[in-house]
Amino acid sequence: MVTIYQHGFLIDGLADSALDDGLVVYEGTKILYAGPYRPEIAAKYPDAQLNDCQGKTIMPGLIDAHVHLTMYGKGSSVHDFLVDSATYTALKAAEMAKRDLRAGFTTIRSLGDKASADFAVKRASNEGLIEGPRVLSSGKCISITGGHGDFVPGDVQLDTIGETCDGVEQVRRAARERLKNNADCIKVMATGGGNSPGPGTASQMTIDEMRAAVEVAETRGVLTAAHCIGTEGIKNAMRAGIRTIEHASFIDDEGIEMALRGGHYICSTLCAFRTMEQPPDAGIPDYVVEKIRYFATAHYSGLQKAYKSGVKIMLGTDTGTPYNFHGCNADELWRFVRDGGFTPMDAIKAGTSVAAEGLRQDDIGVLAEGKTADILIVNGNVLSDVRILSRQENIAVIHNGKLIV
């Protein structure tokens, strides 16, 4: 059946301005036309389901390039996923995926999950067993002993979001195991972080270790991502050939130049700073709050400089970290505008065409003939106030041509 949405503000994900009177036509999972309203095109489909979008925005489905499906935003998130069973973890992950989809995110990339539950969620979503977005999975992240993601002290045996590997051969084997499970991305931990013990900015994985992961990934055309907070770790990840740099809090001028020269993408995860915005009794360990506040001393200025320099920046939220809830992912857009100095259109592109390009997803992120019908219909003009997208009651979500909500 052909479906038509017409007479809305049309943002196609590529143009620098919206069309005041747009038209989108799709059949099944594919877009037949997206562009200015033309009555002769609408007239081609007299039996189509016709939807008038006066006063609404028609735009591509959003992409969140950094989530954690097995974490769900409570102050005790890290503790909870350590002690939860693998079965409960998978059930929880399926619910988090549903919340992300209903918030307008038709594609998500999961970057480190307990029990590699994201593999199961991806399969269940693809097979129509659960309501969920397109999931790009990485399984567990690859860390070093005592590094970020290695949350468990001493000889305690608990499942976590990371697998510890020391040395090139261990990293290579771990990366191959992820490819065996059809991973879409291999994630490594280049530096310390906020939610695990130890210095947050210290470099951890070596260039050679990270390069081993890249070499394995490239045998299948699979993406690579690196958690990077500290300055040298950011540059080490780029030297190793990592494609997407997560967080990049302490990026410096040399790092920005390396990103531009090497075609690296930054995933800035501004929503992760909700952690430091909570009251003292929120249940977040003090050392975590202290580290996140320290990261913030450089993060915003680094992002602003990278954006102004032309570095490609993708929308990613780190959703699942403390008080960073699934279903609230669209807050990243107004944080781009408020804290990163982005124009509203550039913020939207970060979550559509730029993210699609960075994740090598050619069929999504834009509204154009032949592309997948991932479409949002939003009450109001989102370029007037991107916060409209943070209220789910304003959004109708079409994923793979199917109206979800």
Please tell me the predicted confidence (pLDDT) of residue 324: 95
Please tell me the predicted confidence (pLDDT) of residue 83: 80
- Please list the residues that pair with 319 across neighbouring strands: 67, 321
Beta strands per DSSP E along 271-401: 312-314, 375-379, 395-399
Predicted TM-score (pTM) of this structure:
0.96
- Please list the residues that pair with 62 across neighbouring strands: 105
Alpha carbon distances (Å) from 37 to 18, 40, 46, 102: 13, 9, 16, 28
Please tell me the predicted confidence (pLDDT) of residue 162: 81
User: Is the pLDDT higher at 81 or at 276?
Assistant: 276
d(CA 187, CA 214): 10
Q: Dig out the tokens for 331 from the structure.
A: 């807050």
What angle (nearest 5°) sits at the alpha carbon of residue 137, between those of residues 134 and 142? 160
Mean pLDDT of all residues in the chain?
94
DSSP string, 64-91: EEEE-TT--S-TTHHHHHHHS-HHHHHH
- The distance between the two most distant Cα atoms of the chain, rounded to a whole number of Å, is 70
Q: 317 near 330, Cβ under 8 Å?
A: no
Please tell me the predicted confidence (pLDDT) of residue 197: 78
Percent of the chain at pLDDT exceeding 70: 97
- Please list the residues that pair with 5 across neighbouring strands: 24, 51
Q: Dig out the tokens for 233 from the structure.
A: 């770790």
The owner of tokens 């090598």 is 360
pLDDT grade, residue 179 (50/70/90)?
very high
Residue 79 clears pLDDT 90, i.e. is over it: no
Please tell me the predicted confidence (pLDDT) of residue 159: 63
**H-state helical runs in 192-285:** 207-218, 231-239, 253-262
Residue 157 clears pLDDT 80, i.e. is over it: no
Q: What is the DSSP pairing of strand 265-267 with strand 134-136?
A: unpaired
Please tell me the predicted confidence (pLDDT) of residue 405: 76
Please tell me the predicted confidence (pLDDT) of residue 340: 98
Please tell me the predicted confidence (pLDDT) of residue 361: 98
Q: Dig out the tokens for 69 from the structure.
A: 């499906």
Residue 347 clears pLDDT 70, i.e. is over it: yes
Task: Give the lowest-confidence range in 51-55, 245-249, 269-273, 279-283.
Answer: 279-283
Determine how many CB atoms are found less than 10 A away from the CB of residue 46: 8
Per-residue model confidence as pLDDT tens digits over 383-404: 999 999 999 999 999 999 999 9
pLDDT grade, residue 2 (50/70/90)?
very high
Q: Residue 195: name the closest of 64, 23, 74 by CA.
A: 74
Please tell me the predicted confidence (pLDDT) of residue 74: 82
pLDDT grade, residue 155 (50/70/90)?
low
Helix 331-340 to helix 286-309 angle (10° resolution) is 70
Q: Residue 211: name the closest of 176, 168, 264, 254 by CA.
A: 168
- Please list the residues that pair with 162 across neighbouring strands: 141
Q: What is the mean pLDDT of residues 265-282?
A: 92
Q: Residue 245: name the closest of 272, 276, 267 by CA.
A: 267
* DSSP code, position 372: B
